[in-house]
Structure 1
Amino acid sequence: MTDPVKTGWLLRVQVPLQVMLYVGLFVFSQHLVSWLHLPLPANIVGMLLLLAMIMLRILPIGWVKAGSNWLLAEMLLFFIPAVVAVVNYSELLRVEGWRILLVITLSTLLVLAATSIVVDRVSRFELWLAARKQQRQHHE
């Protein structure tokens, strides 16, 4: 059984260190994007780098789990500016709200459709590659 005092102390140290790791990875990604003139934002490059480090087992997932759980738990703090905007522009939402909702709905449907098409094409390509590999093995 784990000691709750030790676990609390560990989380108080671990979470800030992991968040600092995310910030450092973001700063590194910003420099990488500007140096290589990449057409991607630094946050996407940082997430891809983090994913690559986890997948290649350079960075164990346990080293980033507590920090990511904390950030997800505190996600509402990141949306407070959006809530303030809704309060400040309530008249705009009353007048033009249906148009905004229509744009959000259509764009969401377009993203879902595009994602499903890409997933379907990638799935078919993987099946084709597997069948091709199996045919090669069968002929050998």
Structure 2
Amino acid sequence: MQQISLASSRQTVQHWISNAKEFCQLRPCEMAQAIGRSTWFQIGLLIGIWWLAAQLAAGLGVPQLGNVFGMAGLWLLLVNNRIHLKRVQAGAHWLIKHMLLFFIPAVLVVLDHQELLGWVGVKLFAIIVLGTLTVMACTALSIEWYLRLVRHRKAMQRLRHRQLRHSSTEA
């Protein structure tokens, strides 16, 4: 068992070294593109957007949480093509994939506060479940609305294209 893990560790290190050599041979613009595609850079970008939004919310004295501002800001950046989806997609997928790690501290709080196992805990659980369901429903509805909007725009473009083709053949 030890030999297998040692061999896989050597392969991993060799893989990193070969990637580093390939990276060093790139031109500066190719290096910037490679860094932008890196999952760790994308996670850092998402954290940076969250941090800036939290600082903005605190600086403005708005009672809204910074992460809500961050989500709205990221959405605006994506919709207006200021940030392309490729620049944050891998980082977002990694964060979603490892989301459970961010909830472990919340579970440990229950062990420290036994009162959460009584009526107060039932109320909190109901609020959390209803809140989660509300957020999931709103997210699903907004995604569905966006996808319908995109399909409608594509259909309108196809219709205009057909009308232009049809009018050019008549002339």
Structure 1 length normalisation: TM-score?
Answer: 0.58
- Identify the match of residue 108 of structure 2 among 77, 81, 84: 84
User: Percent sequence identity over matched residues?
Assistant: 27
Q: Aligned residue for 1:21?
A: 45
Give the corresponding residue for 1:138. none
Higher relative contact order structure (alpha carbons within 8 Å, sequence separation ≥ 6): 1
Write out per-residue CA displacement over residues 38-87 of structure 1, whole angstroms, 9 at most, x where no aligned residue: 33221111111100001111111111111011111111111111221233
Compute the displacement of 1:106 (Å): 5.6
Compute the displacement of 1:37 (Å).
Answer: 3.1
2:125 to 104, 108, 122: 104
Q: In structure 2, what is the Cα distance between the partners aligned to 1:107 and 1:70?
A: 24
Check 1:23–1:106 CA distance in 2 against 1; reply closer, same or farther (3 A cut). closer
Partner of 1:39: 63
- State the 1:35 CA deviation: 3.5
Paired amino acid for 2:102: F
Per the TM alignment, residue 19 of structure 1 is displaced from its structure 2 partner at its CA by 1.1
Please give the per-residue CA displacement for 1:101-121, whole angstroms capped at 9, x wherever unaligned.
244326755884xx88xx8xx
Following the alignment from structure 1 to structure 2, what is the Cα–Cα distance between the partners of residues 107 and 80?
A: 16
**Normalised by the size of structure 2, how large is the TM-score?**
0.49
Query: Judging changes above 3 Å, is the alpha-carbon distance between structure 1 residues 92 and 99 closer, same or farther for their aligned structure 2 residues?
Result: closer
Q: What is the distance in 2 between the residues matched to 1:60 and 1:49?
A: 14
Moved over 4 A (4+): 106-112
User: Which amino acid in 2 is paired with 1:33?
Assistant: A
User: Counterparts of 1:71 and 1:42 in 2: how far apart (Å)?
Assistant: 18
Say which SS state the counterpart of residue 57 (structure 1) adopts. coil
Name the residue aligned to 2:8: none
**C-alpha distance in structure 2 between counterparts of 1:63 and 1:76, whole Å:** 23
2:79 pairs with 1:58: no
Distance 1:81 1:37, change over 3 A: same
Structure index of larger Rg = 2
The unaligned stretches of length 5 or more in structure 2 are 1-14, 20-33, 142-171
